[in-house]
Amino acid sequence: MRFLVRTPNWLGDLVMALPVFTALRAHQRDATLVAAAPAAFAPLLSAVGSIDEIVPLDRAVPGGVARLRAEVATLREGQFDRVLLLPNSFGSAWAARRAGIPERWGYTGPVRRFILSRAVPRPPSRPHRHLTAYYQTLVEGVGVTPAAGRTTT
């Protein structure tokens, strides 16, 4: 099985998402675990032992529809079976669906829930909710035990 994780587009958010890869590796030992991330983050992700492959996303493509089409083409080449979408954007879910990835997991949204095959309800917003806890809640929502236990702050 080829399991893709679509990472956040911002470096700080990506760093806080790294425990997701550890949890997924423990849950899916035989899967090929792939990170799709902006190309500039490839060196950082190559140091993460639980990641088997990195799919660099070209952020130089002008925004909007052209960038989404480029991402669809890149993801389609990977022939993935499943994707965990860390960004909450409609575009990331749409790109995964257009790329033909059969299982698309992520937080639900007004329109996203119709694109996702497994939609996890978003946790209630509250002050000072750490992004690591937000990602752990998503991982738990798809039936995977977080790597370092549950963070509640």
- Residue 61 is part of a domain; what is its CATH number? 3.40.50.2000
- Spatial distance between the Cα atoms of 56 and 37, rounded to a whole number of angstroms: 5
Within a domain: residue 147? no
Q: How many domains does the chain have?
A: 1
Residue 83 belongs to domain spanning: 2-141
Mean pLDDT of 5-10: 95
Within a domain: residue 150? no
For 88-147, strand residue ranges (E) read: 103-107, 118-120
Within a domain: residue 152? no
Mean pLDDT of 111-115: 90
Whole-model pTM?
A: 0.89
Within a domain: residue 149? no
H or E stretch at 34: strand 32-38
Within a domain: residue 153? no
How confident is the model at residue 20, as a pLDDT? 94
Q: Looking at the predicted structure, is the pLDDT value of residue 150 above 60?
A: no
Within a domain: residue 49? yes
What sign results for the dihedral spanned by CA atoms 45, 50, 52, 57? negative
The mean of the pLDDT values for the chain is 89
Q: Looking at the predicted structure, is the pLDDT value of residue 132 above 50?
A: yes
